[in-house]
Each structure stands twice: as structure tokens, then as C-alpha cells.
Amino acid sequence: MSTPIFTKTLESATRKKIDLILANLGWNTDETSPDCNVFTERAKTTEQNKKFKGKNPDYVLYKSGTDDPIGIIEAKRSGQSLRQALNQAINLYAEPLGLDIIFVTDGSIVESHDVRSKSNLKLDDQIITEFISEKQLLKFLEHGSQLYSPEKITYTKRELIKIFSEANDLLRKEGIREGIERFAEFSNLLFLKLISEIEEDRENSGEQRILEKKYCWESFYKLDPDRMLEYVNNIILPRLVNKYNHSGDVFQQNLLIKSPENLKKIVDKLSSLKLLDADSDIKGDAFEYFLKNSVSVGTDLGEYFTPRHIVKLIVDLVDPKFGDKIYDPACGTGGFLIEAFRHIKNKCKQTKENLQILKEKTVYGREISGTAKIAKMNMIIIGDGHNNIKQMDSLKNPVKGDYNVVLTNFPFSQTTDYSAFYGFNSEDANPVFLKHIIDSLDNGGIAGVVVPEGLLFDENSEYIKIRKILLETCNVVAVIKLHEFVFKPYTGQPTSILIFEKGRQTQNVWFFDVQEDGFKKTGSKLGRSPIEANDLILLRQIWKDKENSNHSFSVDFKKIVAEKYKLSMDKYRKQGKKTTDFVKLGEVCDIVIGGTPSRKDLSLYGGKNLWVKIRDMNRQMYISNTEEKITDKGVKESNVKLLPIDTLLFSFKLTIGKVAITAKELYTNEAIAGIVPKDNRVLTKYLYYLLPRLDYSTYSQRATKGKTLNKDIMRIVEIPLPSVEIQKKIIKELDAKESEKEKHLQAVAKIAEDQDKKINELI
């Protein structure tokens, strides 16, 4: 029986999606109603329609109760260019009607545009990537393309940060450990405040309360401190435990706070705020604050917290549908699941039956740590569904074909005892997590996953194996490279986003390079402030077509197979720029790693053998002496290895890229690699100038105190290798530049000396 050939998606299919979204936002799409403010393929009046000169706009939006048009929506079928749709909307419809606001969409990706500023609409410096209500559209028309939250909301956010800080101090005095434990305690009170406001809104709109008043905020916030602590522990928490803890440990039996006065102080602060007015993700703000300021969590926060604009991007690109079962095997506080829930809710008919499916049969998460209870609380706040959040080790519990969508940022560089469940031998959890994700998808399912860059290029046999499985059993739609500041200030781990569909082999992989994501490249603990430069706008525009651009290109499956299934974007971008042959460093050089004799045995130090540490590698090109020396016994009883004269020394741990050349035979510690040319194809001095200037961001791995390479990774670093004659010419030119640089440095040093001398004369 032949395989049926299906027809292409029509523009009308996209319009059906738009109609639902607009209705959910409060627009009236019933053109038989006098209150209709959305007209399709025509303007409202004959006079307006004439201005289109026979062309038909997809949607014209109107101010309610008037004939005044306020916006255009241009809908294109899936696969058509959004940029083309935008130009069409401006020239054919917006300009003839004198309109300023335009939305273009293919049914999944939405782009907003303001004709006046020729830019996207923005709210609080974040680009608008969805349709908006009439009320909000009118605000943009009045105030321009950039809106900020009302002062009330901005003030509330400032107050929240202040309360987080004060609560953190009070909880520290209670002896509660910093980070997740302290945040979990604060979350109990945040939950009570939020759920109480939600119940109040329900009651005011005529809906039935789910949680009775006697268990809400208004029942205890005015009590004296002793009575308040007693009421929360004896009345409220037992009720919450009884109502929600059947699905696991969501609420504790008693607060960890023991001081009634401390509880009263936190409650009084929260009582003055209306949290629902502040932000749709108050828990996210609190979670970020408590962990960002935690010393013990430190750089591991990148495993817990995915920036919200990246979460929204991945959800938009994957575009989960109503009826999908969505899974996050490392859900943390539930960020991906919450965004997916909202994404689907905005696009489906909000009947009682549909909402029941959304709450009970749509989102599923697992989390090995105690943050699972925070995810459960978050699910309760957005509409329940907490029963599907489980605290467990996902890798210990394989899943086979249960889900249509997987969205996750799994923790990197972890170890696991369960790799054998997935056909692997190593304790390294990175490839195992990716296999768990592939296995959990049903055929035809789609995943959006943040992965460490090393998983995409490392020649470790387990990494090659998982890439082979991925490419042969799934269609890798895209690899989106993120710059190293995306997860700052928590971690500088190089990462990429993988988008793949299970069920058929990859034919081509589309790569996109996010060099700017709309936020300043900084590691400041204060966070990354918004900027104009944002490659995510282009990514959204060309997503359906997967166009080639200055940021993107496609690579054929056969080429990827020939490169050991590597999916690192830089691997293929370099090939397009080569003006000379590239080789792996390990092909032309031996790489020798040093060691450190035991510091407990003083007899190993103080000898005559030169022993180099990074501190010895200052500005001098050649090393002929060292700060410390080791004895013959130190050589014999350690892992140090003798390096010959004319060896390049290269620092590769924590401080990457310091170089020097050995002028005598010597030894090094384990943070320095000796790079010894195997033959006459490469000159040591050429490597001296070359290696410090290479970009190691896609090769480096995260360590406790910073970035690091290792011997195996250094072997696969690719270097340009011109002929020896050309190498000699390069060395001659760079030697001249080095002499010139030295003269300038000496001149600068002389100026600094003169300045110091002048000041010393005064004092």
C-alpha cells in the first residue's frame, strides 16, 4: 500500500488558531454581532475597504464601539516568510489606513511591529511575541512602541525584592539553611498570599471558592504573633497538607520558623502588597533572588534556573498543542511546564472539559531535588495539575514513548548509576539524559532541550554514540547556539538548544548563532539589563523557512556523519572560512600533562629540578627559572614528566591560554600542558603566537572555580596549519610586533613611574 501524500496547510488553518487566541483575549470575532471589533478579509466600512485596491487583509482590528481601525494581523500559512508577510501588511493595508500596529504570524510564531519606530512592540524592555488585548493595544497606540508597567506594579516589584532580602535575613536568624531550603520556607507564605488573592478574585467574579476563607490570608494576618504562628501551624497547614500532599510532599506539617515575631514581620510586609498585580511569576522572582544570593548554590544555579526569555523562545519554537502530553524530566520549579500550560491555554477553547484536560492530562514533570514541591505549588497557582509532578530520579525510572513533547534544561556534568538502563557504560549523565528524553517521546513527538556544548562535539565514545542515536532515530530540526553570557550570573557554561522530532532520520541540520539575546553581556550579580541588539527577533522571523543568513546555515547529514556526528555549530562554520588546512592539535603534537608532588612531604621540594606553575608564566616568552624547584625524590614519587627544550607550555585549567617556551628541560604541575611537536610540520614559536588567540569557548568545560580543558579535548582542538615557510613568515612579522609592544609597555611603565614620583614629591 502506497504512503498517502498529504495536502499543504492552508492559510485558513492558521486563521482558526488566531480566532481562538483573539477570543481568549476578549476580542469579539463574531461579524454578525454589532459589538464585533475583528473583521476578516475586509475593512468594516466601504470607504476603508476601497483603500485596499482589491487586496484582502487577513484581519483588521477596531476600537470597540467605533469604526476606527487600530491594527492589522497578517496570517501566513506555515512555512511562509514572516518578513514577507510584514512588508505586505505595511504596504498594502497599514499605510492605506494610516495604522501603526501590525502583527504577523504563521500560527505558531507571532511578531509584533510598530510602523512609527520601525521596531517590535516592547513591554518592560521585552519584545512582544504574542497577540495582545484591545486595552493593551490602545496603550501602545497612545504611548508608542515601548511600554512600561504602571508605577504600582514597578513599585510592587521593588518592594518584593526588599521583602525577599529582609525575609532572607530573618530566616537566616532562624537557622534555616540558605538557598533552596530558605526559599521553600518563604514559598509557603508566598503561596498563601497568592492563593488567597486568587480566591478573592474568584469570589468577586461570582465563581465558587476552592479554598475556604478560614484557610486564607485574611484569616490570620491581623493576629498577634503567637496566635498567628499557632493558627498557621494548627489550622492552615494541616488543611493544605490534607488537600494537596496526597501527590507527595508539597506542604510541611509545621513552619520551620519558630519565632512568632519573625513570622509576623514577614507577614506584615507581604500584607501590604497585591501580588497578582505585580507579575505573573512572583515565585520565579523569589526563586531567582534566594538562589542568586546563595553561596552554597553558587554556580550550580544554572542547573536550576533557565532565563524566562529562553524558556518562552523554546516553547514558542516547539509550539505544543492542545491534547499533547508534555514532559520535563528535570523540571526544577516548573518554568517550562508553566509556560507550556499558558501557551496551550491561550490557543484552545476554554471550555470546562478542555480546562480539565489541561489541568490533569497535559503537563508532567519530575525533579530529583526538593524543588519539586515548589513546582507543585506553582502548578496549583496556575490552575492545579500538581498531581503530575513527581520527586524522583528520572534516570532511575526510564520512560518509553509516553509523551508528545519534551521541554527541559537538564543538569549538566552530573553522574548516574543508571546508565546501563539506556545502553551506556559511563557514569557521565549527559548522554544518558539525552537518551532518556529520546526514549520518552512517542513517534512524531518533538523536543526542545538545552544541552552543554561539549555533548555536541566531544569525541568521547559515549558522546559519539548518543549523537549517532539522535541523528539516526530523530530529525534534528535545529541547533541554536547560545552565547556564554545567557545563563550569567549563574554559570558561563557554553550551551545550545536542540530541537528534534522523533521517528525519522535527520537529512539536514539548521544551525543558528545567537550572538545577542536582548540583554547585556555581563556576569554581574545584579543581572543582565536589556539592550536593543537581539538576534532572537531574526530567529523567530526565519524559523519556519530555516533560511541561510549571517547567523544561520544548514549542513547535510552525510557531512555530519563524516565528522563523527558532531553538532557543534563552530565545527561547520570554520569549514566555510578556511583559507588553509586545519588539523587537530593531537595530530601534530604530543600533549604531556604534569603533576604536583605531595605538599605533605617537604623532602620533595627545594631541589634543583625546575617545576613550572601558572604563576611562573608571566610576560617572558622563554622560561629558564622557576619560583619553586623539586628534588629528584619529588620527580620519582609524583606524576611529573620531563619536558625537552623548545616545548610550548600552555595553561588549560581555570586560566586558559597562558603560554611560554621552555629554555631548559623542566617539569610542570597538572594545570599546564607541555605541547611537544611530533615532527617538523609545526614550529613551537608559531604555536606560541597562535594558541592564546584561539576561541576555546566551545571546547571548555565547567569546573568548580571556572572553565577548564582536558588532555582529550586539547587533542581535538583544530588549528590552522600553513606550510613551515609561511609559519616562519608569520613568526617574523609577529616578533616585530612583539618588540614594538614591549617598547610601548616600557613607555607606559615609565609614565606611571613619573606619575608616582610627582605624587610622592607632594606627600
pLDDT in tens, 662-682: 999 999 999 999 999 998 899
DSSP reduced 3-state for 188: helix
Instruction: Looking at the structure, tell me whether residues 560 and 614 fall in a common domain.
Output: no
Q: How, if at all, do strands 706-708 and 701-703 pair?
A: antiparallel
Instruction: Looking at the structure, tell me whether residues 200 and 107 fall in a common domain.
Output: no
How many domains, the chain? Answer: 5
Q: Which residues partner with 40 through β-bridges?
A: 59
Instruction: Report the alpha-carbon distance of residue 688 to residue 719 in Å, rounded.
Output: 12
How does 750-763 read in b/e, with b if 16+ C-beta sit within 10 Å?
eeeeeeeeeeeeee
**Taking the CA of residue 243 as centre, how many other CA atoms within 13 Å lie in the half-sphere pointing to its CB?**
14
How does 254-274 read in b/e, with b if 16+ C-beta sit within 10 Å?
ebebeebebbbbbbebbeebe
342 in any annotated domain: no
Query: Phi/psi at 295 (nearest 5 deg)?
Result: -70, -40
477 in any annotated domain: yes
372 in any annotated domain: no
First to last CA, the chain: 97
Instruction: Looking at the structure, tell me whether residues 679 and 626 fall in a common domain.
Output: yes
Instruction: Looking at the structure, tell me whether residues 82 and 206 fall in a common domain.
Output: no
Per-residue pLDDT tens for 414-468?
A: 899 999 999 999 999 999 999 999 999 999 999 999 999 889 988 889 999 999 9
370 in any annotated domain: no
Task: Answer for the pair 221, 197: CB distance below 8 angstroms, yes or no.
Answer: no
**Which residue would you say has higher pLDDT here, 373 or 433?**
433
379 in any annotated domain: no
- State the pLDDT at residue 77: 60
How does 513-531 read in b/e, with b if 16+ C-beta sit within 10 Å?
bbebbbbeeeeeeeebeee
Per-residue pLDDT tens for 499-537?
A: 999 999 999 999 999 999 999 888 776 678 888 889 999
DSSP reduced 3-state for 103: strand
Instruction: Report the alpha-carbon distance of residue 102 to residue 215 in Å, rounded.
Output: 46
- How many helical (H) and strand (E) elements, i.e. helices and strands, does the chain have? 27, 31
- State the pLDDT at residue 711: 83
| Strands annotated E in 303-413 | 326-328, 363-367, 389-391, 403-409
How large a percentage of the chain has pLDDT more than 70? 88
How does 74-100 read in b/e, with b if 16+ C-beta sit within 10 Å?
bbbbbebbbeebbebbbebbbebbebb
Instruction: Report the alpha-carbon distance of residue 113 to residue 82 in Å, rounded.
Output: 11
Tell me, what CATH number does 552's domain have? 3.40.50.150
Task: Answer for the pair 72, 61: CB distance below 8 angstroms, yes or no.
Answer: yes
Average pLDDT over residues 290-317: 67
Instruction: Looking at the structure, tell me whether residues 137 and 241 fall in a common domain.
Output: no
Average pLDDT over residues 325-347: 91
Instruction: Looking at the structure, tell me whether residues 174 and 126 fall in a common domain.
Output: no
DSSP reduced 3-state for 143: helix
- State the pLDDT at residue 706: 46
Instruction: Looking at the structure, tell me whether residues 573 and 477 fall in a common domain.
Output: yes
Per-residue pLDDT tens for 169-202?
A: 888 888 887 766 777 788 788 888 888 888 887 7
139 in any annotated domain: yes
- State the pLDDT at residue 290: 58
385 in any annotated domain: no
Query: Is 150 a residue whose pLDDT tops 80?
Result: no
Q: Exposed, middle or buried by CB within 10 Å (0-12, 13-18, 19+), for 368?
A: middle
Which residues does 658 contact at the CB level (< 8 Å), separation at least 6? 614, 617, 650, 651, 692
Instruction: Looking at the structure, tell me whether residues 26 and 140 fall in a common domain.
Output: yes
93 in any annotated domain: yes
Per-residue pLDDT tens for 95-149?
A: 999 999 999 998 789 999 999 999 999 987 889 999 999 999 999 999 999 987 6
Q: Which domain holds residue 55?
A: 11-147
Instruction: Looking at the structure, tell me whether residues 403 and 540 fall in a common domain.
Output: yes
Instruction: Report the alpha-carbon distance of residue 107 to residue 32 in Å, rounded.
Output: 25
- Last residue of some domain: 560, 577, 594? 577
Per-residue pLDDT tens for 21-58?
A: 999 999 999 999 999 999 999 999 999 999 999 999 99
Whole-angstrom CA distances from 328 to 207, 368, 436 are 32, 12, 11
Instruction: Looking at the structure, tell me whether residues 495 and 558 fall in a common domain.
Output: yes
Q: How, if at all, do strands 495-502 and 441-452 pair?
A: antiparallel
Task: Answer for the pair 667, 635: CB distance below 8 angstroms, yes or no.
Answer: yes
Instruction: Looking at the structure, tell me whether residues 554 and 598 fall in a common domain.
Output: no
Tell me, what CATH number does 601's domain have? 3.90.220.20
